[in-house]
Structure 1
Amino acid sequence: MCRWLAYTGEPIHPAVLILEPRHSLVAQSLNSPLGAETVNGDGFGVGWYPDTEVLEVQPALFHSIEPAWHDENLRELTWAIDSPLFFAHVRAAAGPPIQQTNCHPFRHGRWLFMHNGAIAEFSRMRRELMLALDPELFPLVHGTTDSEVVFYLAVTFGLEQDPIRGLARALRQIEQVAERLGIRDVVQGTFAVSDGETTWAFRYSTAHRSRTLFYSVDMPTLQEMYPDVERLRLFGAKARVVVSEPLTDLPGAFVEVDESTVVILDAEGFREEPFLRDAA
């Protein structure tokens, strides 16, 4: 459906990952070997947290309905910015129209969210799911995608207090509605959430056949494995990326995330936890 990446670590220019690698996100927008769709040209978005310790600062967003490979502003912007944490997403529309309000990432306060995948037969479920939103959040849904509704449903169920539990409750709500309507294998996807300090990346689907998701090995290990790869010197010791598919062909650079798992990146480092495995 889409491709995305989430970076956390020392501040870098997002272009170093979005534009420069052999299998960069822009390259994947043209040719995505592991994606459900080879081409992801229905718009893109970048969300980034400024290089600042002021926690009240909102993440910034840039959305465009241009194909990522065709947008000169993307190149200008991603070389001009320095950020310690950013999301980037290229879209393959699966029904909802191509418009800026349907481009990921989505933002609520300090939170960013993006999704690769789909909610099956979303048009049949949309009304009931929208009515399940907190009334104060209802008018904040500006687009028509299933992903934005998942985000605000998770906020309704407490994402800002506990992102893992909030998203789990949102997906269970969707599965319950789907069961009543006779919709099978309703949730499909990978999801990323951040508050600017911690990033949570989820791999989950109702059928337990989720879209691909990978994380990079820690940078000191990677630099030791490949001391002659000059590009790796651009990254600090804390640099880590979670991606829909690997950005490089270097063996051992990326590890696939297990089904029904959440990857957590924070000041303490990296860890994995089970996510909604009780249904497996």
Structure 2
Amino acid sequence: MCRWAAYLGEAIFLEEIVTAPCHSLIVQSRHAREAKSPTNADGFGLAWYGDRPEPARYRDTLPAWSDGNLASLCRQIKSGLFLAHVRASTGGGTSRMNCHPFVSGRWSFMHNGQIGGFEKIRRVLENSLSDAVFDQREGTTDSELFFLLMIAEGLSRDPHGAVSRATSRVLEASRLAGVNPSLKLTAAFSDGQALYAIRYATDDQAPTLYTAAFAKGVGRCIVSEPFDRDGRAWHEIPQSSFVTMTRNCTSIHPFAPTVAELALAG
């Protein structure tokens, strides 16, 4: 599966997380320590926020370690809020449209995990979207579709509730299709102001997630696995948790799918 890192705080160069540390995201793309797949070579992406509400984005299908443009951009760009992702595909071809982060308006989203039995429930989930939301779909991944489900479930008004309701849609679609519900969801997303993350899995084996202070008074990061082990206190996010990070504080709350009747097109 994938590796990712996100940061919120005072503006720093992206390289301070993505390329420079001893176990940076670039190193993790070649040799992740806490993932089933140690190699994450199916593309990469960045989304960062600046003076405008919508994020800038750079994605490509090359392995992250082999793209000289990525290293150059990270050395020059400073941002107080950014998301970075290296991909190990669990479905969907290797194309730019399938690389994370995904973007809609001011929102950005990236994911480590998968929807089990996706091909058996993909159509019903896509059909449950309005035309306006479905028309935003560019790629073929389960991750992008989950992001669109979040948008359909009111992401702009209620981030926690939107993820919960989107999760319920997936699980209910699986049940209706006679598929054992299976979802691994370790994701981060942002509206340019706050940074949100979730760690959840139906089998209680969610991909790893950690948070730490970047530097005293500077900001905080949330990552799939630590990018260093020296002089920084990393805290593992518990299973079934929803994280809200602002410039002033970080809160962690229990997460569970909303139990509700779902009208899914069939």
TM-score bin (small chain): over 0.9
CA distance in 2, matches of 1:84, 1:30: 27
Deviations for 1:150-175, whole angstroms, at most 9, x for unmatched residues?
Answer: 00011000011111100110001100
Number of residues of Structure 1 aligned to a counterpart in Structure 2: 259
CA distance in 1, matches of 2:171, 2:181: 8
Deviations for 1:127-180, whole angstroms, at most 9, x for unmatched residues?
Answer: 000011122111110000000000001100001111110011000110001112
CA distance in 1, matches of 2:222, 2:99: 19
Deviations for 1:222-275, whole angstroms, at most 9, x for unmatched residues?
Answer: xxxxxxxxxxxxxxx131000000111226621100010011111331111111
Partner of 2:241: 261
1:96-245 correspondence to structure 2 within 5 Å? 96-217=92-213, 219-220=215-216, 237-245=217-225
Q: Which amino acid aligns with 1:27?
A: V
The correspondence for 2:84, drawn from 72, 76, 88, is 88
- Give the drift of 1:185: 4.1
Does the Cα contact within 8 Å between 1:44 and 1:90 map onto a contact in 2?
A: yes
Does the Cα contact within 8 Å between 1:260 and 1:277 map onto a contact in 2?
A: no
Partner of 1:274: 254
- Give the drift of 1:184: 2.1
CA distance in 2, matches of 1:78, 1:251: 23
Partner of 1:29: 29
CA distance in 2, matches of 1:24, 1:16: 8
CA distance in 2, matches of 1:253, 1:267: 19
CA distance in 2, matches of 1:254, 1:134: 41
- Secondary structure, in 3 states, of the residue corresponding to 2:135? helix
**Aligned-pair RMSD on alpha carbons?**
1.5
Q: Which amino acid aligns with 1:266?
A: T
Does the Cα contact within 8 Å between 2:213 and 2:219 map onto a contact in 1?
A: no
Structure 1: tracts of 5 or more residues without a match: 221-236
Q: Which amino acid aligns with 1:21?
A: P
Does the Cα contact within 8 Å between 2:8 and 2:247 map onto a contact in 1?
A: no
- Secondary structure, in 3 states, of the residue corresponding to 1:189? strand
CA distance in 1, matches of 2:108, 2:129: 18
- Secondary structure, in 3 states, of the residue corresponding to 2:54? coil
Does the Cα contact within 8 Å between 1:8 and 1:240 map onto a contact in 2?
A: yes
Identity %: 38
- Secondary structure, in 3 states, of the residue corresponding to 1:137? helix
CA distance in 1, matches of 2:151, 2:107: 10
Q: Which amino acid aligns with 1:42?
A: D
Relative to the length of structure 1, the TM-score reads 0.89
Partner of 1:78: 74
Residue range with higher mean Cα deviation, 66-75 or 209-218: 209-218
Q: Which amino acid aligns with 2:212?
A: S
Q: Which amino acid aligns with 2:73?
A: L
Does the Cα contact within 8 Å between 1:118 and 1:188 map onto a contact in 2?
A: yes
Deviations for 1:39-58, whole angstroms, at most 9, x for unmatched residues?
Answer: 000000000001x3x5xx31
Does the Cα contact within 8 Å between 1:17 and 1:24 map onto a contact in 2?
A: yes
Q: Which amino acid aligns with 1:18?
A: V
CA distance in 2, matches of 1:121, 1:185: 8
CA distance in 2, matches of 1:89, 1:252: 22
